[in-house]
Every structure is written in structure tokens, then in C-alpha cells.
Structure 1
Amino acid sequence: MAKYAYPAVFTPEEDGGFSIKFPDLEGCYTCGDDMVDSIAMAEDALALVLYEYEKDGREIPFPSSESSISLSDNEFINFIACDTLEYRKMYNNRSVKKTLTIPEWLNEAAVAMDLNFSQVLQEALISKIRI
């Protein structure tokens, strides 16, 4: 889980939109209706593909330099950034049931304080992982 920036090749389309491809990443391409939409779509596509690379344990390639990418007429390069941790938080936020064991005295004290066990565990894990 990390922050990334990759060069994206933008190809203008006749309708005013753009096709976008990331030459360094297999299967990473998208399109948008205008420049703002295209950048948002590119960020989402990049985060999704890199998230899948991380999840599958695939090696994440180093981004190419702008000068090493050949362009056709009207194409241009724009670097797109993403944060796969933020992507995970937004799109992979389903609850997972966990069974755990704690001492009875600790359970009684927590119940007496009306603590939410799930919330306490989430806060402790976030603190421990430092995210």
C-alpha cells in the first residue's frame, strides 16, 4: 500500500473526450468525457490496477520517464497520482467478522464501560499499523 505516480498517455477523441492508457501497467486504460473527467477516471483506473497488483503480490513496475514514451499525433503525457491505501478505504470497506479471545476480567470491565468492541479493535489496529 503506497502512493504512486505514473505517466498516462492521453489521446483526444473527436467528441471532446480522451482515451487514457498507462504504458507501464498491463490492462490499465480508461476514458473520460472531458479533461476533468478523464483525470478522475485515470486516477481511479490507476488505483484499481495497482491495488490488484498489490493484492496478487505482483511486482509493481517502476514508472517510465516521460522521454522514453513515444507519442502519436495529438497525444500527450500527464502524470497521474493515486494512493492505494485510500482506495482500499473507499472501495474495500466491507465488514469482516473476527473471533477473538480476551480474559474474562477484561471483558467484564469493557462491558461495564459500555465499550464498542469493534470500534476499540479498529482504533487499536489503526494505531498499531500507523495509518
Structure 2
Amino acid sequence: MKYPVIIHKDEDTGYGVTIPDIPGCFTCGDTQEEAILNIQESVELYYHGEDISEPPAPSQMEDLLNSDLYTRDSFLYLADIDFAFIAPKTQRVNITVPEYKLVKIDRAAKARGISRSAFFVDSAEQHIRDLSVEKTVKRAVPHEIQQRSDRPGQHYID
């Protein structure tokens, strides 16, 4: 569903995003593109653990243009926010896994007291979080520090 958000930039900072239809929910990024990409995650984190049955109705852009949130230094953007996480539907999938790895997966799932499906989902979500952290770290590390291609995981400074 499309929601109007307000993007603003202050001097000496990145871009901030206010999501007026979700009071207290905001995000930011070093660039406009990054700030926009962070909107979905921000909404999911905001509602994490909350018990809501349906998403809020989106505001009219005209109403936001006349609100105190909108200033000369900001602009409106229509963000596509997916609220499927509120009442997630399950979907059956078929994957191919080497048998010996499936045995290891089943042992690990049993040790945690969860199903194979839950183990796959938890593992995938952890991998996604790790990739997100890795992306953040790569942006934070000066470009002079690069990974050595002959020794993965080791870095050197030019």
C-alpha cells in the first residue's frame, strides 16, 4: 500500500524520513535512496511484537502539505509499504538439499526444539540480518581498507 512520507535533510546530516501515519516511526539514510530503502525495515521494527490487526489508513498528500511536519526543506514521497508481516500467510515451498546436510539441519532444529521449517526460516532471517550488517559495515569502513581477494576475511590498507 502506498503511504506518503516526508523526507528531509538537515545540514551536516543524512536524510531523515518521517512516516506520519505511524506516529513515532522514522528512519534515515546517508542518501535519499538509502533512506527510502530503510522505510520498510523501519515499519517492521516499529510494529515488532505489537498486536495489530490491520495497517493504518494512509493520509492524503494534500493534508500533509498543510501540516507542521512538512517544511520548505522537505519533500513528500509515496512509499510502498508492505504490511504482509502483520498477519503472515505461510506458503509451502519445495527445496533440494543434500541428504547429509538435511540430517545436520534436522539435528540442529531438534536441539533448538523447533521444526525444520522454522529452522530454515530462522536461518534465512539471520542471514538477511548479517548481510544488512555487512552492508552497513562496508559503508562505514574507509574505501582505503579493502578485502584481500587471496585471503577472504582479511583486510589491508592501501
The whole-number CA distance in structure 1 between the counterparts of 2:36 and 2:77 is 9
Structure 2 length normalisation: TM-score? 0.47
The whole-number CA distance in structure 1 between the counterparts of 2:10 and 2:40 is 19
Superposition RMSD on alpha carbons, in Å?
3.3
Aligned partner of 1:97: which letter?
I
Partner of 1:11: 8
Q: Please report how far the alpha carbon of residue 46 of structure 1 lies from its aligned counterpart in structure 2 after TM superposition.
A: 2.5
Post-superposition, which runs of at least 4 consecutive aligned residues in structure 1 deviate over 6 A? 86-89
* Contact 1:16 1:34 survives alignment (8 Å): no
The alignment-based identity, stated in percent, is 27
Q: Please report how far the alpha carbon of residue 19 of structure 1 lies from its aligned counterpart in structure 2 after TM superposition.
A: 1.0
Unaligned runs of 5+ in 2: 90-108, 121-158
Q: Please report how far the alpha carbon of residue 96 of structure 1 lies from its aligned counterpart in structure 2 after TM superposition.
A: 6.7
Q: Please report how far the alpha carbon of residue 75 of structure 1 lies from its aligned counterpart in structure 2 after TM superposition.
A: 0.9
Tell me the SS of whatever aligns to 1:14.
coil
Residue in structure 2 matching 1:48, options 40, 45, 50: 45
Aligned partner of 2:77: which letter?
N
Partner of 1:74: 73
As a proportion of its length, which structure holds more helix?
1
Show the 5 A alignment for 1:11-30.
11-15=8-12, 17-30=14-27
Partner of 2:82: 83
Q: How many residue pairs end up in the alignment? A: 92
Higher relative contact order (CA 8 A, sep 6+): 1
Structure 2 CA distance for partners of 1:74 and 1:85, relative to 1, 3 Å = same
Q: Please report how far the alpha carbon of residue 11 of structure 1 lies from its aligned counterpart in structure 2 after TM superposition.
A: 1.0
Q: Please report how far the alpha carbon of residue 59 of structure 1 lies from its aligned counterpart in structure 2 after TM superposition.
A: 4.9
Unaligned runs of 5+ in 1: 99-117, 123-131
Q: Please report how far the alpha carbon of residue 44 of structure 1 lies from its aligned counterpart in structure 2 after TM superposition.
A: 1.7
Partner of 1:65: 60
Tell me the SS of whatever aligns to 1:83.
coil
